[in-house]
Amino acid sequence: PGDDRPLVALTRPFNGEPHDPGNGQMLALLAPDRASVDTAHALAISGGAQDEGHPRLRPHYHANYYGAYFRDLDGNKICIVCHDPDGRGV
């Protein structure tokens, strides 16, 4: 919270496996509200994406982090996230 956007972070793959396309990089898209996170995730899954984490609060990142994760048809990991405290957007 409070960090400037866009934000680029370079890290090791979360699962400890070697880096390769779709493992070690992730595109994170900022959603205006939690309903948009839910909708984007549902649309991705219905289009054949692989679920990597259903929409929910993830307080281990911060108290208002509401995010969902999926892999697109090419194996790229994508996050949709809302940081808004009440989840309704501006």
Tell me the pTM: 0.79
Q: Considering the domain boundaries, does residue 73 fall inside one?
A: yes
Q: Considering the domain boundaries, does residue 38 fall inside one?
A: yes
> What Å distances lie between residue 45 and 9, 59, 65, CA to CA?
26, 24, 21
pLDDT at position 74, please? 86
Question: What is the C-alpha separation between 40 and 11, in angstroms, rounded?
Answer: 25
Question: What is the C-alpha separation between 4 and 77, in angstroms, rounded?
Answer: 22
Q: Which helix (H) or strand (E) holds 67?
A: strand 66-71
Q: Considering the domain boundaries, does residue 2 fall inside one?
A: no
Please tell me the total count of domains within the chain. Answer: 1
In which residue ranges of the chain is pLDDT below 70?
1-10, 21-22, 89-90
Q: Considering the domain boundaries, does residue 14 fall inside one?
A: no
Q: Considering the domain boundaries, does residue 90 fall inside one?
A: no
Q: Considering the domain boundaries, does residue 44 fall inside one?
A: yes
CATH code assigned at 55: 3.10.180.10
Query: Domain containing 50: what range?
Result: 26-82
